[in-house]
Structure 1
Amino acid sequence: MARYAGDHKEATRRRIVESAGRRIKQDGIDGAGIATLMADAGLTNGAFYAHFSSKQSLVAAVVTDQLEAQAARIAELPPGRDGLLGFIDWYLSTDHRNDVANGCPSAALLDEIARQGDEVGAAYERGVAIIADEVADRLARDWSLDAGVAQTRAVGLMTVLIASMQLARAMTDAAKAEQVLVASRDNIRVLLAA
């Protein structure tokens, strides 16, 4: 009988979390059952409970993974104002609007997070705090803001980004969606210049 490598279980878990992240953002938390999530990872339903105690624990793992990846992306931006402004331009782009499965987890899932219970809510809260701190650090450094002001602006910036993307995605008219994205980019520049 062949044995799996020592990291096989962790690699399988990572594959489940990554594929579930795309599916859950695309179809919603309640729109993706365990069977679909496991099929996306190339596994059977029976393998699910070797990695997760419940769908809620998988969703919490997905939320943690997605938000950590987003925080890492922000941390890796080029230094200076152009780095953060470039991220904002990408975030409020038509490409991001159209690519829900590979985009921001907050914009895709925020309306569902509050109904998922404490495990998912706590994972989301931790992840958002990491992102807010990363953005605040950049604002304090690159915009020479006091730490408290930078934290407030970071939360405001995240609020505008997420709500703007959700609104743009809700528009069926492409021109109106683009209007939301352009107006939001303009408003964020005003927020950052204040």
Structure 2
Amino acid sequence: MRYDKGHKDETRRHILDVASAQFRESGIAAVGLAGIMSEAGLTNGAFYSHFASKEDLVREVLTDALTRREERHKANLENGVALETTIRDYLSTRHRDRAGTGCPTAALVAEIARHPKATRDAFTGKVSDILTLVAEQIRQGSADDRRRKAITIYATMVGALQLSRAVNDKPLSDEILENAVEAAVAMANEQ
């Protein structure tokens, strides 16, 4: 059977999207290739015409999802969106409650620490790019000061989002988000 031009790229994109949502929602270790391919409407054998292994898929998902997040940060920077707006959006209850479409760092960082060097290298490069963009949104201080603040702000955001998702007490979860917003915004506005 012959497929239209671009079919393979579309299929690969579809597998990436399905895997990305499943990984973020359930965790990398909990998601099998059979479940990904079933949800994608494809056979297990089709997987290997797009990816060499599950680890290859994990790297591609991370790179893709973090590139998309990086593009949002770039757009915010280009459009003059304040860092405070980015922080408030990231630490929102909407983001907390939608792990499957949210930040891959907050959803997967603990698992990524146990993955092979190539996967961690891909993750490290993308996180570094995001930190650079956050630093560019900080208006005060030397380049080193802005970088230090960007790391602190991003770590606060990621950690608070993870913690807010982990607790089973909604008022406490909301309180974690609210306090993290205050701390991150204060750091961003610190002179």
Q: Do the two structures share a fold, i.e. TM-score over 0.5?
A: yes
Number of corresponding residues? 189
User: Counterpart amino acid of 2:162?
Assistant: Q
How far residue 9 of structure 1 moved from its aligned partner, in angstroms, is: 1.2
What residue is the counterpart of 1:8 in the other structure?
Answer: 7
Looking at structure 1, the residues matched to 180 and 130 of structure 2 have their Cα atoms a distance apart, in angstroms, of: 20
Structure 2: gaps (5+ residues): none
What residue is the counterpart of 1:169 in the other structure?
Answer: 165
Q: Structure 1 stretch 152-161 or stretch 49-58: which is displaced more?
A: 152-161
- Structure 1 segment 119-130 matched on structure 2, within 5 A: 119-130=118-129
Cα contact 1:74–1:84 (8 A) shared by 2 = no
How far residue 83 of structure 1 moved from its aligned partner, in angstroms, is: 3.0
How far residue 118 of structure 1 moved from its aligned partner, in angstroms, is: 1.4
Structure 1: gaps (5+ residues): none
User: Counterpart amino acid of 1:116?
Assistant: H
Moved over 4 A (4+): none
TM-score by length of 1: 0.93
Deviations 1:6-47 (CA, angstroms, capped at 9, x unpaired): 321111111111111000000100110000111122211010
User: Counterpart amino acid of 1:22?
Assistant: A
How far residue 119 of structure 1 moved from its aligned partner, in angstroms, is: 2.1
Cα contact 1:57–1:119 (8 A) shared by 2 = no
Task: Tell me the SS of whatever aligns to 2:82.
Answer: helix
TM-score by length of 2: 0.94
What residue is the counterpart of 1:72 in the other structure?
Answer: 71
Q: Cα RMSD over matched residues? A: 1.3
Cα contact 2:18–2:40 (8 A) shared by 1 = yes
How far residue 193 of structure 1 moved from its aligned partner, in angstroms, is: 2.3
What residue is the counterpart of 1:54 in the other structure?
Answer: 53
What residue is the counterpart of 2:150 in the other structure?
Answer: 154
Cα contact 1:20–1:40 (8 A) shared by 2 = no
Cα contact 1:56–1:119 (8 A) shared by 2 = no
- Structure 1 segment 2-151 matched on structure 2, within 5 A: 3-77=2-76, 79-80=79-80, 82-139=81-138, 143-151=139-147
Cα contact 2:28–2:111 (8 A) shared by 1 = yes
